[in-house]
Amino acid sequence: MTELNVIAINGSPNEKGNTAFLLQEALDECERMGAKNRIFSCQQLMAGEKMPFCTACSSPCSGKCFENSELDHAFTRISQADALIVGSPVYFGTVTAQLKAWWDKGRKLRSEKKLLNVVGGAITVGGSRFGGQETALRTIHDLFLAQGMIVVGDGYYQDDCGHSGAAGQNPAWNDENAVMRAHILGKRIFEVARTTSPIRRR
C-alpha cells in the first residue's frame, strides 16, 4: 500500500499559536503510524492574493484568480491528500474569516471532485472551556460535506476524540485533554484514510 498523505490546514491568523500546536500533535500521531504530512497556513497562503475573497466569477471555477500562485501550488498538494485535518480558533462561535476565505477559493477543487472521499477531521480552540468549540467544529464539518469528504468524529471508548473532533482551551499546550484528543483524532484519521484509500479518485 502506498504511503498516506495527511495535510493540516491552520485557519488561525497566528501561524504558531494554539491551533497550530494541536494540529501538529495530530499530525505527529499520523506520522508515527506511517503517514507523511504537511501543514499549510491560511494566513500565509492568502496574504499574497490580490483578490482574497471569492466572487464566483466563473462556474465551474477556472482558478484564474490564483493561477501559478503559492495558493495554487498548495491546492495541487491538497488535491493529492488522503486526509485533511482542519483547525481554527473560535471567532464568535464559528471559524475565522481566514479559513472561510481560503476554503471559498477551493471551488475549483470541488468542481473537479478533488476532495471526494478524502477523510476530514476538525480541531478548534476557544478562550474558555465552553467557548463555541462545538459550533466551530460543526462549521468545519459543513465545509467538508460540501466537498464530498468523509467526516471523522467519535470512535470507540478507547478512541474517543470527542463527538465532533478535538477541542481545546487556551493555552492549548496546558490542556491535557485537548492534547490527548488531538492524538486520538490523528489515529482515527489515519485508520479511516487507510481503509478508504481505494475509493479515492486519483
Average pLDDT of every residue of the chain: 92
CB 187 within 8 A of CB 29: yes
CATH number at residue 172: 3.40.50.360
Q: What is the pLDDT of residue 90?
A: 97
pLDDT at residue 27, as a whole number: 97
**In terms of C-beta distances under 8 Å and separation of at least 24 residues, what long-range contacts does 144-147 make, across chains too?**
144/84, 144/86, 144/120, 146/110, 147/106, 147/109, 147/110, 147/115, 147/116, 147/118
pLDDT at 52: 85
CA 122 to chain centre: 6
Cβ atoms of 43 and 15 within 8 Å: the answer is yes
Average pLDDT for 96-120: 95
| Structural domain count, the chain | 1
Residues 172-198 pLDDT 10s: 999 999 999 999 999 999 999 999 999
What pLDDT sits at residue 51?
A: 84
Residue 201 placed within a domain: no
Q: Please give the residue range of the domain that contains residue 175.
A: 5-196
Residue 202 lies in a domain: no
The pTM for the full model equals 0.94
With a pLDDT cut of 70, the percent of the chain lying above it is: 95
